[in-house]
Each structure stands twice: as structure tokens, then as C-alpha cells.
Amino acid sequence: MQDCCFMWNPDLKNKYSHLQITLNNFQVQNRCMNGGEYDQDKRTCQCYGGYIGQFCERIMRDCSDGYSTSHYNKGSGTYLIQPNMAPSPFKVWCKMQSGGNTYIQRRVDGSTDFNRSWQDYKDGLGDLTKNFWLGNDKIAYITNGRSHMLTFKNTEMTTKRQRIYTFFNLSQEGLYTMSYTDTWGSSIPEKHGGDCLGELKGQPFSTFDNDNDDSPLNCAQEHQSGFWFKNCTPCNPNGVWSETPDGKRAGVPEEMFWIPVTGDNLLLSCFVHLSAM
């Protein structure tokens, strides 16, 4: 009795592999969710608006999450996030390059009034595409979900400065007490942002209608803003927007200022963002 031999055909193997790839692509393409589109070159789903995952099936925890999962790595815009502690998603302004930054405050002009109530600062105020305070509830959700670094950036005259605070946290006990571990500024003197939060560490948040500072004055009323105050403050990034011909402060307590390095110079912009550590 003769043995029966089976001759393997390489073409059959190639056809099988091609069929498997086609099938896999078809499966991925038809499982892209939440507005995701199939990327033929990458053979994966291209996600939008804050959705991430193989099939765009979940929302990123913060802007850093979108960057680290390689879904978003350039540009700025409005995205959905849902931190671990948040009961539902909400929108934020993200800058996706350099690791993914979640903005909690932005001042670019004087079109938005920041002398607002406790409830406004709790929920958030302004326009995410222009001037805003994200909202203390949302900031607390982000910083209690995982560790974050906070960066203050401001511009005075032609100088841009920044200050960094590690393990920044906002408590969820109702007063939004602010804490952090370490802080530093740039090693380049002209870019070094002075430390405004040092003396305010451990302070609860204050607004004109909810005075939680240590001063006999109502500092939020004095500075016409919501912020962390103690015996009033060396910085007032949520203060009244001012413009003067020489770029100098008028010397009134309600205007925007950042005394440790800007001195008498007006703040021309202010940005505050969080980055996951």
C-alpha cells in the first residue's frame, strides 16, 4: 500500500494569511465606536473628542491619558474626560503636545468676569475656548483620581514665566483645600515663575460669598476674585483684567498680579494646567 503524501502549497499559505488580515481589518473597522473611523494604514480605529481604546470604547481620564495611549499627540481643543473619581464625563481644554495638559484656568483678555460666586467656581465659569475656571469639583475629581503636577504660566510685558507644583491636590471635603509636595521654577532667571502658592498651602478656597481666609478682611471681596487666600495674597490670577499704556499695575488690590517676580508689571495672560505624573 502506497503512502499518501500531501504537498503544501506556499500560495495557499499566503492566501490564508491575506484572508486572515482582511477578516481582522473588517472586524476592527466595524467595531469603531463613538464616531471613531478606521485607519487603513494603521489598521486601527482613529478616535476623536476624548475617546480612546482599541475601538474608541472609553473616555480618557485626563488629557495626559489621551497622549500616553498615542491617540492624541498634537494640537489643542475641547475634549471629553472622565477621571476615576468623576460620576460622569465633562469637557476640558487640552493641549496635546508635550505630554497632554489639562487646563483648569485660562486668561487671555478681559471679556470674562471672574468675580463670581462660590457656586460658579464650584461648577466652573467662562468659555473653554477663551477665558475660564474649570470648576473646583472637576479639579478635585482630576487630582484625586491620580497624581498630577500643576503648572502656572503667565506673561508680563514680553516675558513668559512658569512655576511647577508636584502632587497638586484639591480636597473633596467641601472647602477645596489646596496642597502640593514640591515646587520649582525655571533655571533661566527671566523665565522663573515666583512661588505664589507657598504661603497658601493648606488653605481652603474663598469667594466673596464664602470667606474662608485667615484675614479680618474678606480677601476674595478685596481682590474681586475666587482663589486660595490667607492674609490676602501675593498673587491674584483671577483678578480684574487691566490694560495700561506702560504695562504697569495701577496698584489696586483687585487687578491681576503675580508679585514674586512680576512686581509692578501687569499680567497680560495667565494659564494653569495639570499633567499626570
Q: What is the pLDDT of residue 261?
A: 73
How do residues 163-172 score in pLDDT, each as one tens digit? 999 999 999 9
- Answer whether residue 23 shows pLDDT above 50: no
Q: What is the pLDDT of residue 124?
A: 98
Q: Model confidence at 75, in pLDDT bands (50, 70, 90)?
A: very high
Q: Model confidence at 98, in pLDDT bands (50, 70, 90)?
A: confident
Q: Model confidence at 180, in pLDDT bands (50, 70, 90)?
A: very high
Provide mean pLDDT across the span 61-76: 95
How do residues 155-165 score in pLDDT, each as one tens digit? 877 788 899 99
Q: Name beta bridge partners: 265.
A: 248
167's torsion region: left (phi>0), alpha (psi -120 to 50) or beta?
A: left
Q: What is the pLDDT of residue 17?
A: 53
Query: CATH for 100-276, among 1.10.3720.10, 1.10.730.10, 3.90.215.10, 1.10.3470.10?
Result: 3.90.215.10
- Residue spans of the domains in the chain: they are 100-276
Q: What is the pLDDT of residue 14?
A: 55
Residue 90: name the closest of 137, 150, 54 by CA.
Answer: 137
Computed over every residue of the chain, the mean pLDDT equals 89
Could you tell me if 220 and 254 are in contact, meaning their C-beta atoms sit under 8 angstroms apart? no
- Answer whether residue 46 shows pLDDT above 70: yes
Q: What is the pLDDT of residue 8?
A: 52
How do residues 219-247 score in pLDDT, each as one tens digit? 999 999 999 999 998 889 999 998 888 88
Provide mean pLDDT across the span 86-104: 96
Provide mean pLDDT across the span 74-82: 96
Cβ-based burial of 88 (10 A; exposed 0-12, middle 13-18, buried ≥19): exposed
Max mean pLDDT among 5-19, 81-95, 244-258 falls in 81-95
- Answer whether residue 25 shows pLDDT above 80: no
